[in-house]
A = this chain, B = another copy of it.
Amino acid sequence: MPNESLTLLSDVVSESTDRRAFLARASRLGLVLPAAGALAGCSDDAEDRTRPDTSAAQQRSPSTLQNPNSRLDTAHDVRGHTTSTAEGAATGVQPIAYRRWDPTVPPPSSDRTHRLAWSATEVPLHITPDVVVAAWTFESDIPGPTVRCRVGDTVEFTLTNRGKLPHSMDFHAAQIDPKAAFRSVVPGESVSFTFQPKYAGAFKYHCGSAPVLMHIGSGMYGAIIVDPATPLPPAKEFVLVQSEYYLSPAGGGIQAFDYDKMLATMPDYVAFNGRPSQYVAEPIRVKVGDRVRMYVISAGPTHPCAFHVVGEQFDRVYLGAPPEVPIRGVQTFAVPAGGGMVFELVCDIAGEFPFVNHGFGHGQKGAIGFLVVE
């Protein structure tokens, strides 16, 4: 990898959508995918499915992929599609500039139907002024856009794959057959589905294409906030999606996502809303007297977020769907990877309150920000 000239990850499927060919090329680029054990069971191929790899030792070798086509991503047949993907997004594409990711939750809409047409694509992205990652994204950002709706609303969603890898969409707020709705689509194609959220809360969405660890780990996640039928008390509302970055230099000043490091679970950065420590430099600001409601999601791919606000205590934390049975008077609660919880506090006094992942071995790597109460 260190000597590779600049090659975007998105480049690796430009010649072919054949998944095996892609993976072979991905492997050459250091986009190592696990050999087998973990994925072996996920094959579409019934013959293969009963034959995970022979030895744990083999499992550690990243050089082959025995069962690249996973049913886990609920794709019926990813292979065989022809692609209309252009090669445009590759070398020479300007990285998306660094900017603060706005944590403000969009206001509730009076519409009871929400039509979303999003793209999946790979694009270089600044996660700090100096660090550029070869991101896999929804709507060209990490995290993707925040969706807001209400219990019983209708969400009509379309994902168009404008990238060079198969992608998909899995909303944790949806009760729906994933085999159809969350299936992978190859570059140039789209998938559409409709769902009606049944429960309120802070739900994760993410790309579920195999290997899902790689697709989540590379940036394809975000939040869908679902309000209960009877609104919660008025509050300043923010979304915080914690995630981990596992990176390796890919040449040209770009960091590629490293699957082996994801499996080793020792992140380089841990961030709220995609950018390490962004809210230290540019805090979240509220007023004395405000109730603050934080929708906290751990996108993982692996670690929980032991969420804590220094100098504050949570008036209530909803472990499940609000408004039912919150726990009260909480210093810290852990949001599991793939989960979301709602944290509320009341800003009685002015001050600068750091919010952190209190599991500091990971949290110290960027899961830090400031809530400034003025």
Given the known A-B contacts A129-B52, A179-B351, A311-B177, are A304 and B338 also in contact in the complex, defined by CB atoms under 8 Å? no
Bound CA span A327–B325, Å: 7
Given the known A-B contacts A276-B37, A331-B338, are A317 and B317 also in contact in the complex, defined by CB atoms under 8 Å? no
By the criterion CB–CB under 8 Å, are B277 and A361 in contact?
Answer: no
Segment of A77-85, A134-142, A199-207 engaged in the interface with chain B: A199-207
A5 to chain B, nearest CB (A): 17
By the criterion CB–CB under 8 Å, are B359 and A337 in contact?
Answer: yes
Complex: chain B residue closest to A303, CB-CB: B359
Which chain B positions have C-beta within 8 A of A370? 71
The complex is assembled from copies of this chain, and their number is: 3
Bound CA span A364–B262, Å: 10
A87-125 vs B: 1/0 string, CB under 8 Å? 000000000001000000000000000000000000000
Q: How many of chain A's residues touch chain B, expressed as a range?
A: 35 or more
By the criterion CB–CB under 8 Å, are B338 and A178 in contact?
Answer: no
By the criterion CB–CB under 8 Å, are A42 and B280 in contact?
Answer: yes
A–B Cβ pairs within 8 angstroms, 12 of them: A37-B276, A50-B129, A52-B129, A52-B366, A55-B130, A56-B245, A173-B313, A199-B330, A302-B361, A333-B336, A333-B339, A334-B334
User: What 8 additional pairs, Cβ within 8 angstroms, besides A199-B328, A201-B329, A325-B327?
Assistant: A41-B366, A52-B128, A59-B269, A71-B280, A199-B313, A212-B364, A265-B362, A324-B327
